[in-house]
Amino acid sequence: MGDEGRRFAVTVGGRAYELIPSAGEVILPTHGSKIHHDARCTHLTDPDRLPRHPDPDGLLWRRLLDAEDPAAHALSIGLRNQRGRPLTGVCSCALRPVTESHAETLPYWPIDEALRVFDRSRHRAAVEDADREAAEIRAAFPWEEWPALALDRYALGQPDSPGQVYSHALEFGSKALGSITGGTAKKHFVYRQNHGAWWHDKRYGNVTEAWEQVRAGIVAAVTAAREGRVRDIDDIVAVRSGIMVVAKTLRVYAPEATLPVYSDSFTHHYLDRLSPGSAAKLQPFARKELLKSLIDDDSRFEGWPPQLVWHFLDWWAPARRTAARVVRVDASAPGAGWGSFVAAGVAAVDLDRVGDLHRYADQEDFTSAFVAAYADSGPSGQKLTAQAAEVWRLLDLRVGDRVVATAGKSEVLGVGRVVGNGYGWLPHLDSERPPWHAVTVEWDEEHAGRLDEPVADWGTSLVTDVPAALWRKIQRVSLAGHTEAPDDAPEDSGEAVEIPPLDEDLQRIDDALERRGQAVLFGPPGTGKTYHALRYAVRRLGELSDDLAGVDPLAEPGSKAFDATVGALSESGRLTVVTFHPSYGYEDFVEGLRPVKGVAGLSLEPTAGVFKRVCETAAADPGRLYLVIVDELNRGNLPRILGELITVLEKDKRGLPVTLPLTGDTFRVPPNVRLLGTMNTADRSVRMLDSAVRRRFAFLELLPDSRPLQDRRVDQLHLADFLDELNRRIRTHLDREKQIGHAFFLPEGTAVSTAAEFAAIVRGEILPLLQEYAYEDYGLLAAFLGEGLVDTAAHTLRDVSDETLVTRLYEELQVGTGAE
């Protein structure tokens, strides 16, 4: 194991790492909590004097990560720092976070090493649970009955008996078998919608015909699998649209035919790990047949049940981001409070008019029912839609996800981990408690306490995602002191803090950049385009920049730590921010002649532009991510600025050479460079961009979002209602690209609270925009803001005090619309 030149890709906690194996021993630090593989690690001081611990097979890092109690495991083998404390983590000199693109260039962690460390006994109960669930489904829906199975025994969406239909049992009642939850009910081929109509493939004339064809297709698929003809399932037209449903059905009725890997993308992923290149031209069930045959032919898996093989593959080379999701649930409601949570071992919401979430085919179906059921409860339709999304979020929680119970806007009552079957509908247990939407949780009150600053949406929402920075604060809350613990800063950064997955907005950006290499955030003014671009840079680059001092990937925008992180990333060259404008050219971005002072005076010499310099640096550092943010992308002449780069920017052409016309240099765009632009659609629509440029970028729209303004008021004016109504009027009279963004009212991330602050923003930023949109049409301006502020006869704005401005907007855009 001592070959220092070896490097492997490995996936841990849903993230890609480069594994630098140990040389047969690990280094024990003076303080801190991590083992080290490299004496040159910048996190160590005086490494030559530090003791070593034997690591003969080089697998200590994995055993430590997999230990149920890492501290106890470390102490049992004498793995301590020089202060006697157990080492429970692994330093980045052993596991270095890298981009997924870089991980793809490395050989994956050898399966032989993984098999030596994989603990089969820890998965025995899960395999038994899966077998039990499969047997229960076979007992409830015997295979002999399938050729004549009635539709009401199969289809989702039947409110009276959701637990007695096959589709429900497969998707929601058999989680030990593996999940197929997500997306819509269309994967089940036929289902009943909330309004009573049946959904089915329109190639069939009616639901009876559709069900007959689907049922015959399922029977044919299972029959083929039992006869060893799994690849023939690809030719069964009636079930082509439900690969996961058919695959899980095979697990129940033909358990030895395939591995319980239901997603085709997962099957493809595992084949690429076991036999690179073998899956590319195969169809989905031919891939599943090949994967099973590779395992059957491998003597290392002799005697392994298919379910255990899947557990191993998912542990060794997980095909998805597996970091735990973190949500927060309000635990202050009278009917579903903290005491009840702990007693019942759940996190719950008591909105009971809609019943079990499992009865609904998909989120759209549930939202429609929820809005109708609570239409008389007071909130607007938009708020009810948002509340429905919060409740539906419970259905997406999986074992291992984290739940934070809170009261008010700052009190943390406890932190728990989702266990068992996740979401369930709990009917009345007694006369005092209403039915609950509940998730089974193991609670830990150790992190109870009070945050230093309130969280605005905790006062208005039942269930919300917890951003990474907030999750760090919650983890550091002390039960005794009820304050946030100070940062520990030993040589290897002390105790590790769990980092949750990217939030939805940042994940969209990351997916787009991974897929295309470059993306554009576009939208109306004030929607946070630059804010999101920088937030993405700090989080994503920060995670991959463990070697830089002053980098905090969880820093919050507006904080000193955030600014310091942007500064550190910029100084290192991993983050570059430029702004395009009409005078910006190819010479600035790629290369051009620049005046250089010499002995004979000034002379023109070829000089690399911003992007060329970034690419040259990134090419020499392939394991790091380099990001170029281009603000105001659409203000530059893109075809001229990009020149011949328009070809080699494409993801599949990264690394190909192009000759630069000025110097004749061969230039390449390395795969670890990302380009993220922002553009204001009020200035120029995406449709106006050069078509060749447009084809090479992914476009992500950011629209006004009033949620950060919920429960925020300036005097009597509710900011969220004000923004929603103003934008409704703008959409009605103009278009969606000229709406007003929420960021106008969130200077430095905090909502305005005084009439003076609000009036200054309206007069100095909102009114000029609306006047520009209206082209001096004061009748149109009055349609936006009301005649209390716009004098249509005099073609002017009325001169009113700050307080009067707030009052008139309140009366026009809130009271006048019934939004109060």
- How does DSSP assign 132-198, residue by residue? HHHHHHHHHS-GGGGGG--GGGT-B--TT-GGGSHHHHHHTS-GGG----SS-GGGGS-EE-TTSPE
| pLDDT attached to residue 460 | 78
Q: Is the pLDDT of residue 287 over 90?
A: yes
207 or 504: which carries more pLDDT confidence?
A: 207
What pLDDT digit, counting tens, does each position of 97-153 carry? 888 888 888 999 999 999 999 999 999 999 999 999 999 999 999 999 999 999 999
At residue 1, the pLDDT reads: 39
Give the rounded distance of the alpha carbon of 32 from its chain centre: 30
* pLDDT higher than threshold 50 for residue 649: yes
| pLDDT of res. 616 | 95
Strand segments (E) across 451-557: 463-465, 518-523
Residues 508-526 pLDDT 10s: 999 999 889 999 999 999 9
Cβ contacts of residue 382 below 8 Å, gap of 6+? Answer: 724
Encode pLDDT of 694-714 as tens digits: 888 999 999 998 888 877 899
Query: In whole angstroms, what is the distance from residue 649 CA to residue 636 CA?
Result: 17
pTM reported for the whole predicted model: 0.82
Q: What is the percent of the chain where pLDDT is above 90?
A: 53
In this prediction, residue 28 has a pLDDT band, given cuts at 50, 70 and 90, of very high
Given this model, what pLDDT does residue 486 score? 39
Is 373's pLDDT higher than 60? yes
Helix (H, G, I), strand (E, B) or coil at 748: helix
DSSP codes, 535-557:
HHIIIIIHHT-TTSTT--TTPPT
Q: Looking at residue 818, what is its pLDDT?
A: 53
Adjacent-strand bridge partners of 81: none
- Backbone angle region of 196, left / alpha / beta, with phi > 0 → left and psi within -120 to 50 → alpha: left
Looking at residue 803, its pLDDT comes to: 93
Least confident of 161-170, 219-228, 386-395, 740-749: 161-170
Mean pLDDT value across residues 487-500: 47
List b or e across 733-747, with b for residues whose CB sees 16 or more CB atoms inside 10 angstroms.
ebeebbbbbbbbbbe
Q: By the 8 A CB rule, do 491 and 705 touch?
A: no
Mean pLDDT of 188-192: 93
Q: Which of 129, 193, 120, 183 is nearest to 155 (CA)?
A: 193
Q: How confident is the model at residue 395 (pLDDT cuts 50, 70, 90)?
A: confident
| Range name among 127-136, 241-250, 440-449 with the lowest pLDDT average | 440-449
Cβ atoms of 59 and 110 within 8 Å: the answer is: no
Tell me which of 421-430, 520-529, 581-590 is least confident.
Answer: 421-430
Phi, psi (5° rounding) for residue 357? Answer: -60, -25
Kindly indicate the confidence band of residue 488, based on its pLDDT and cuts at 50, 70 and 90.
Answer: very low
For 500, list phi and psi in degrees, rounded to 5: -75, 170
Place 494 in a pLDDT band, splitting at 50, 70 and 90.
Answer: very low
Counts of helices then strands in the chain (DSSP H, E): 29, 29
- What's the pLDDT at 489? 38
Q: How confident is the model over 77-106, as pLDDT tens digits? A: 999 998 899 999 999 899 998 888 888 889
C-alpha 258/C-alpha 289 separation (Å) is 6
- Would you give the end-to-end CA distance of the chain in angstroms? 69
Q: State how far the Cα of 428 lies from the Cα of 244, in Å rounded to an integer.
A: 34
Given this model, what pLDDT does residue 77 score?
94
Average pLDDT over residues 38-42: 87
Mean confidence (pLDDT) of the chain: 88
Per mean pLDDT, which range of 364-368, 375-379, 675-679, 733-737 is the poorest? 375-379
Among 290-304, 564-578, 801-815, whose mean pLDDT is lowest? 801-815
Q: What is the model's pLDDT at position 686?
A: 66
Ranges of H-type helices in 353-400 = 363-373, 381-393
Give the Å distances, CA to CA, from 406 to 336, 338, 464, 504, 781. 12, 8, 11, 22, 44
Q: Which residue has the tokens 């329109």?
A: 202
pLDDT of residue 381 exceeding 80, the answer is no
* Residue 221 pLDDT grade (very low, low, confident, very high; cuts 50, 70, 90): very high
